[in-house]
Chains A and B, each alone.
Chain A
């Protein structure tokens, strides 16, 4: 009882500092989210999915102060893309490109009430609500209930260029809450790039509904602020023969919880979620993934790699649920940590729950140090120690980066990793 009360008290305190938009198209969804939230309360240490990650920083009424990287180091510069900028969680029209783009409808959540977006009304909060069972995700409901801003994107054909959601943080105490909805119609194809960090603390939800034969590629380098506190949720629903590929690069950050909740509702679909996370020192990084197979012959892959040093902590909680009748499911899950010293920690909880009898599901989890034999081999060929280490760390991360289909984007991610490694060499 004390536990429950604490969770409710945390929620009451948190909500007291927030205002929700009134009325509008999302009114019902927000009310429903508030109701879910009232049931759940905010997370507590005793919750099964918060055993390895202390939710205190995310529960707190105000964020901890976080350093601001005023100049966001540009990435994906070589790509022609439509850029939409959010600064401290507020849309920055002046810094953004014109939203008018052939084949794509884009609206701001804050301005959607004036438009009559049936699809958005049907999607907003829907996948989040569905993703609350069997595991509660209170921060996502909180987001649905109180988010003032975000993007509503609908694509009906092949998008001519990627959408680039660019986050910037200017205030060291900003508390950003953003909620994006993406509707990929049948046969449509979209790439979404999400870069940077939107606040000292951020809570970002993305609901992605992918219709039959639709494709959504999502690449997300989360910025390298050390002080950031971040909780994100991706909720994706995949119809027949659709594809969703999401890759996240995390560098630094005192508290990051990235959740992905994916459900196959149509046959022959594919979902790959991958992540590369690197931390040095005060770093806590948690990937929590839940994939539900409820259709025939779907393929899911989870590939998560973490490089940890100087007391950094990595967490992976990944689940594959194969429902009865989801025959010929192909599920794969790997989580690995490379520990560059003895002080770091990796906590992994792979879970498989399978109710169909004709499926292939494999999973693995490892943690280890750099391979000394490989290191000596490289050095014996004249490769200097640091270069050799970088090569081996990048090699370790390669399987995750390989999940990015676009080779130019993958190369940019690799370069970003190399840059991080060169800054964090030695002790």
Chain B
């Protein structure tokens, strides 16, 4: 599904190297988790993959189903099947949540050469999916993320993911700011989307989320590299002992 090779990234504005050769291969239907201390480059990796400005790729590649992501505009990456659930979803006053979703869904369909969804069809689908995430009609009418609580914002991210049906989903600290119930709700939303043709990259600080979204692989990232890869037990190890042992082991 996604193959990241030797990815080197620095900040455009300053001469600061963030990613120093990331290698990661995610197969179809797999769930991978990345954990790591603050500042290790986890969020940067998610931004660079989705095409956010401000970063310069100095080396390496990121291939999504045979196509080089790093050469594409953000909207083309989305149409190609990439989705980033933001750590901090952006508030957009004046743009209705429903308008935004329909514009996005239809723009992607158009980019892929598919017919746009009619207003009625769209409404039917979005209502069913919103209901499962306990997003009420009133929330859909409000401007995108404006006045949403932390939990509502994250649920809204998952709703977008459910509507856009991406192949490769990146979840950037989706658990941050969530209480136990909200985390369960969000996780259920994610799990409902798991299938053989869809892969996930879950970035998190805590093992907690991985109790709900069970990963196939866990990677530890430090100082711009993936330094250790294992199964779900690796997350437990981190939870119990912190990163110190792993970091020491690698050095």
Identify the A interface with B (CB < 8 A). Answer: 371-374, 376-385, 387-388, 391-392, 394-399
> Which chain B residues border A379 with CB–CB below 8 Å?
51, 73-75, 78
> Which chain A residues border B91 with CB–CB below 8 Å?
374
> Which chain A residues border B78 with CB–CB below 8 Å?
379-382
> Which chain A residues border B107 with CB–CB below 8 Å?
382-384, 387
Chain A nearest CB: distance from B164 CB in Å?
Answer: 7
Q: How many A-B residue pairs have CB under 8 A?
A: 81
Q: Is B246 an interface residue (CB 8 A)?
A: no
Contact A399 B90 (CB under 8 A): no
Once the chains are docked, how many angstroms separate the CA of A391 from the CA of B94? 9
Contact B93 A387 (CB under 8 A): no
> Which chain B residues border A373 with CB–CB below 8 Å?
90
Contact A382 B75 (CB under 8 A): yes
Once the chains are docked, how many angstroms separate the CA of A337 from the CA of B89? 25
Which one, A376, A380, A383, A394, contacts B94 given CB within 8 A?
Answer: A394
List 11 interface pairs A-B (beta carbons < 8 Å), by A numbering: A377-B144, A379-B74, A380-B75, A381-B104, A381-B164, A382-B75, A382-B79, A385-B75, A394-B94, A398-B94, A399-B94
B103 closest partner in A (C-beta): A383
> Which chain B residues border A382 with CB–CB below 8 Å?
75, 78-79, 104-105, 107-108, 111, 164
Interface residues of B in 164-220 (CB under 8 A from A): 164
Q: Is B52 an interface residue (CB 8 A)?
A: yes
Chain B nearest CB: distance from A425 CB in Å?
Answer: 15
Q: Which 10 A-B pairs have the closest CB atoms?
A: A395-B94, A382-B78, A382-B108, A381-B104, A377-B90, A379-B74, A398-B94, A395-B95, A379-B75, A374-B92
> Which chain A residues border B95 with CB–CB below 8 Å?
378, 391-392, 394-395
Once the chains are docked, how many angstroms separate the CA of A385 from the CA of B78? 12
A388 closest partner in B (C-beta): B75
Contact B92 A372 (CB under 8 A): no
Once the chains are docked, how many angstroms separate the CA of A300 from the CA of B89? 35
Chain B nearest CB: distance from A402 CB in Å?
Answer: 9
Q: Is B160 an interface residue (CB 8 A)?
A: yes
Once the chains are docked, how many angstroms separate the CA of A396 from the CA of B79? 27
Once the chains are docked, how many angstroms separate the CA of A391 from the CA of B95? 7
Chain A nearest CB: distance from B204 CB in Å?
Answer: 20
- 1/0 per residue, CB under 8 A from A, across B1-24: the answer is 000000000000000000000000
A396 closest partner in B (C-beta): B94
Once the chains are docked, how many angstroms separate the CA of A372 from the CA of B160? 20
Which one, A374, A387, A394, contacts B90 given CB within 8 A?
Answer: A374
Chain A nearest CB: distance from B213 CB in Å?
Answer: 21
Chain B nearest CB: distance from A204 CB in Å?
Answer: 31
> Which chain A residues border B144 with CB–CB below 8 Å?
377
Contact B92 A385 (CB under 8 A): no
B93 closest partner in A (C-beta): A395
Contact A392 B92 (CB under 8 A): yes
Once the chains are docked, how many angstroms separate the CA of A380 from the CA of B50? 7
> Which chain B residues border A387 with CB–CB below 8 Å?
103, 107
Q: Is B122 an interface residue (CB 8 A)?
A: no
> Which chain A residues border B79 with CB–CB below 8 Å?
382
Which one, A377, A383, A394, contacts B86 given CB within 8 A?
Answer: A377
> Which chain A residues border B99 with CB–CB below 8 Å?
391
Contact B92 A380 (CB under 8 A): no
Q: Is B84 an interface residue (CB 8 A)?
A: yes
Once the chains are docked, how many angstroms separate the CA of A392 from the CA of B143? 12
> Which chain A residues border B108 with CB–CB below 8 Å?
382
B84 closest partner in A (C-beta): A380
Contact B53 A378 (CB under 8 A): no
Contact A376 B53 (CB under 8 A): yes
> Which chain A residues border B53 with CB–CB below 8 Å?
372, 376
Once the chains are docked, how many angstroms separate the CA of A372 from the CA of B53? 9
Contact A384 B75 (CB under 8 A): yes
Once the chains are docked, how many angstroms separate the CA of A398 from the CA of B96? 11
